[in-house]
Chains A and B, each alone.
Chain A
Amino acid sequence: MESAYLELENVSKNFNGLLAVDRLSFSVAKGQIVSIIGPNGAGKTSVMNLITGVYPVTSGEILFQGMRLNGKEPHEVASLGISRTFQNVGLFKEITVLENVMVGLHGMVKSGVFSSMMGFPSVRQGEKEIRRKSLSALATINLGNKRNFLAANLSYGDQKLVELARAVVSVPKLLLLDEPGAGLNETEKEKLIRLILALKKEGMAILLVEHHMEMIMRISDNIVVLNFGHKIAEGCPEDISRNPDVITAYLGVDTSDAGD
């Protein structure tokens, strides 16, 4: 368990009687890709929301580099070097592509409101840096030519790429991806896989929630399988693909000998 970036210890979440997450434990190490899979409603996105502080945990601990995450506000969690993408593309549709990526670097600069209001040189320097890094990130995903488009006017696939660029422009230590492959065609999925593997190489810890089994199998170091909020299996791709409980959960075939 050395250099475990993210650790969940017996995390549970109860939504007024609905047990969305049930005593979940797993960890993500530096430079490791861990995927969470499971049928719809298994609690995958809830896990993301618990880690990022959108909901408080009912019980259990979430640790990041040894520090407690549960109880922190989302912006505090983000400030520790954790970034996230959202299921239905969390871009700000009414501002441009470039402005979106620049928002990703909001925390990079420390200038306060008063310096900004006065237009001090340090503020202008900071803006230049933010702009430069954002343009560079856009160049990496080949969307530099669309930087002044309103985010709403991009294709779905391009929007997902911009959201990813925005999430990684601040070079986070832990990246949470919520169904990054959803709605992408084959070419776009390939591009995404290449990008995720490149980020892994740079030492980023990545936690992925996904439905596309092929993508999961190709890139995951470890897979956690959830069903009704409960972890029913964990292991490397080969083991998971052969696990009978996993197959049951997905196909609904009752292979256990429990009565009706």
Chain B
Amino acid sequence: MAKKAFSILAWGLIICFPLLFPKSYLLSVLIFAGIWSIMLIGFDVLVGYCGQLSLGHNAFFAIGAYSGGILAVKYNFHHPLLAMAIGIGISLILAWMIGVPSLRLKGYYLAIATLGFGLIINNIIIGMNALTGGASGLNFIPSFKMAGLTFDTDIKYYFLVWFFVALILVVTLNLVKSRFGRAFLAIQEEETFASMMRIPVARYKLFAFLYSAVCASIAGTLYAHYAGTITPDGFSFMISIHMVVMLFLGGKGTIWGGIIGAVFLKLLSESLSSFQEYEMPLWAAIFILVLIFMPRGILGTLQGAFQRFDLRTIQEGK
């Protein structure tokens, strides 16, 4: 019951905000928050549910962005949805190639392997000068257009992005509420036990990896068409760090937590924009504080508080 009310309230706020404050510069911040939310919803399936940490998803974000950028700017191919599809296709192929060997590794080793992958892709992008504009990147990426509509103002882009968020949220919630969600959680806890439940562990881990790569790619394409300019700097390893911090802050394993983390941290970094030079230590500090004081994140901790009034966590005999 509380969950339904929370959803309705959240979506109410999301829809009403731009209608009440159409000229607010915060619209731009919330557009970026929405783009990050798309990335994090998928990322939570991999990290929060399956328990596999990847530090290389910045690569898929980049692939989605450059697919949109390259096709529009270098080939005059202005069909963003198709570009998005192509970006997804490339991300899937690369995610498969890196996923199959990496997912055999556990914890620390998987993180390092994916980190390396992210760095390699970033370097390749810088190296493919003619196609990607190298270190200077691509400029004048046109606005997103879809179904005859062109999204050239902030308020239009806001609804476009949050429409995608809603779509991906619904699909992902369907996924994790099904037997697959339970299977992912089982895999996170103990792969040996999970495989005795007829769960093909390697296959499902790969699926979660691919799923999160697709979400990152979608987010990338939306980002490119909004920002108009993309450079390799914007797809560095820091993106992966931000993803992890945002997800942990919002609450991993809750799917909604990604959205909360994205909005919270985007608003925070916007209000502290004068502290640009302290960006990295600030993110590190937030992460450490979350891990110490609120390991289940904002949403996870709230859920825990509600559960104290619920039989779920009452100890035997108390």
Contacts and interface: CB of A to CB of B under 8 A. Distances in A.
A74 B171 CA distance: 30
A154 B313 CA distance: 10
B178 A148 contact: no
B22 to A, nearest CB: 34
B311 interface: yes
B195 interface: yes
B180 interface: yes
A106 B193 contact: no
A116 B175 contact: yes
A92 B185 contact: yes
A93 B198 CA distance: 19
Contacts of A158: 316
Contact of B207 (A75, A102, A113, A123): A113
A148 B313 CA distance: 9
B196 A84 contact: yes
Interface string A209-237: 00000000000000000000000000000
Contacts of B172: 117
Interface in A48-100: 52, 54, 73-75, 78-79, 83-84, 86, 90-96, 99
Given A94-B189, A155-B316, A74 B196 contact: yes
B311 A107 contact: no
A153 interface: yes
Contact of B171 (A79, A91, A117, A154): A117
Interface in B195-223: 195-201, 207
A74 B175 contact: no
A196 interface: no
Nearest to A116: B178
B313 A153 contact: yes
Contacts of B3: none
A149 B199 contact: no
Contacts of B194: 103
A109 B178 CA distance: 11
Given A93-B189, A117-B175, A149-B311, A154 B316 contact: yes
A118 interface: yes
B175 A148 contact: no
Nearest to B181: A116
A104 B186 CA distance: 11
A106 B312 contact: no
B185 A75 contact: no
A130 interface: yes
B174 A103 contact: no
Nearest to A112: B180
A103 B186 contact: yes
A239 interface: no
A127 interface: yes
B192 A54 contact: yes
A86 B179 contact: no
Contacts of B315: 153
A140 to B, nearest CB: 19
A153 B200 CA distance: 28
B182 interface: yes
B195 A73 contact: yes
B196 A148 contact: no
Given A74-B195, A107-B198, A94 B185 contact: yes
Given A73-B195, A74-B192, A92-B190, A106 B316 contact: no
A119 interface: yes
Contacts of B178: 111, 116, 123, 127
Given A103-B186, A130-B179, A96 B312 contact: yes
A26 to B, nearest CB: 22
Interface in A146-201: 148-150, 153-155, 158, 166, 170
B180 A113 contact: yes
Contact of B193 (A92, A119, A127): A92
Given A93-B189, A102-B182, A153 B314 contact: yes
Nearest to B202: A73
B182 A106 contact: yes
15 contacts: A75-B199, A90-B196, A92-B186, A92-B189, A92-B190, A94-B185, A103-B179, A105-B179, A107-B198, A118-B171, A119-B170, A127-B178, A149-B313, A149-B314, A153-B315
* Interface pairs A-B: 7 shortest CB-CB: A107-B198, A74-B195, A116-B178, A90-B193, A119-B174, A78-B198, A75-B195
Interface of B: 170-172, 174-175, 178-180, 182-183, 185-186, 189-190, 192-201, 207, 310-316
Given A75-B195, A111-B179, A148-B312, 16 more contacts: A52-B196, A75-B200, A78-B196, A92-B186, A96-B312, A99-B185, A106-B179, A106-B182, A113-B175, A117-B171, A117-B172, A127-B178, A149-B314, A153-B315, A155-B316, A166-B197
